[in-house]
Structure 1
Amino acid sequence: MWIVWAVLAAVSAALVIVLTKAGLKNVDPSLAFAIQAILILLITWGVVLFQGNFSSWKAIEKNAWIFLIAAGIFTSLSTLFSYKALSIGPASYVATVERMSLVIAIVLSVVFLKEKLTWQIILGGTVMLAGAILIALSDQGE
């Protein structure tokens, strides 16, 4: 079932890139993210309340808080960097180069989470990296 959620996340992320690029005309990237962040906050807390999970925050362990806060900081930075790149570059190029994060995530998952590295993961990561480099170095991405 995880694959359905992952595909939905991919489609949503693609829509975010295209819609954000369209919305960034004459709008500061930081302001655009701040506007979207308000909606993110309202929607996610609405889901938590709808699911009845609000009281679960008390059971979150200290280490989990640290990781979640750090992830929140990096989510914000990633989005700010992405929006800045989208404001000055083509969406198809920005999205492709930004998705090099997949290759970085593979490396970090193997090193820090001790996930298994298979030949398929190595090959897939190599192809992703090669594609991102190819697109980044093409003439139309300038």
Structure 2
Amino acid sequence: MMNTTAWIFWALLSAVFAALTAIFAKIGIQGVDSDFATLIRTVVILFALAAFVWMTGKWVNPLTLSGKTLSFLILSGLATGASWVCYFRALKIGEASKVAPVDKLSVVLVAIFAFVFLAERPSPGAWLGIAMVGAGVVVIALNS
């Protein structure tokens, strides 16, 4: 698979796993606090990723990373944790078929943030698609 299209494969797998995450989480949080459920999920991810990184020989000493890299990875981790806590709370009280699409408003926000902070310039067609995602989220949210 060429590097120029490999991202599509991994992005599609990410979407499949994200969809399964919503379904498994909705079933799993019944009868348990959503924050505690998020903790269990996080511990599982920690062990699974640690095993994966170790088995594939990708472990490096994190202290050898630059301060900028570490800082932004820490910020990313904090944002991920906040996202998961909010997502699980929303799943606890809402329907997975509505929570997950609204969560995908992140697609619109990523495009805006990437434009502002990373100087990325999506094509007009891409902006149309991004706007359609946003409109879809509004339709789902208003028809709850």
- Aligning the two structures, in what range does the TM-score lie when normalised by the shorter sequence? over 0.9
Partner of 1:21: 26
Q: Deviations over 1:4-23 (max 9, x none)?
A: 01000010000000110011
The correspondence of residues 110-129 of structure 1 with structure 2, limited to 5 A, is: 110-129=115-134
TM-score with structure 1 setting the length: 0.94
Distance 1:4 1:56, change over 3 A: farther
Equivalent-residue separation in structure 2 for 1:9 and 1:68 (angstroms): 19
Over 6 Å off, 4+ runs: none
Deviation at 1:60, TM superposition (A): 1.4
Q: Does 1:69 align with 2:74?
A: yes
Q: Deviations over 1:18-70 (max 9, x none)?
A: 11001111111001111111110001111111111222534311101010000
Partner of 1:9: 14
Which runs of no fewer than 5 residues in structure 2 stay unpaired? 1-5
| C-alpha RMSD over aligned residues | 1.0
Deviation at 1:117, TM superposition (A): 2.1
Aligned length: 139
Q: What is the aligned-residue identity percentage?
A: 35
Q: Which amino acid aligns with 2:74?
A: I
Q: Which amino acid aligns with 2:13?
A: L
Which runs of no fewer than 5 residues in structure 1 stay unpaired? none
Q: Which amino acid aligns with 2:73?
A: L
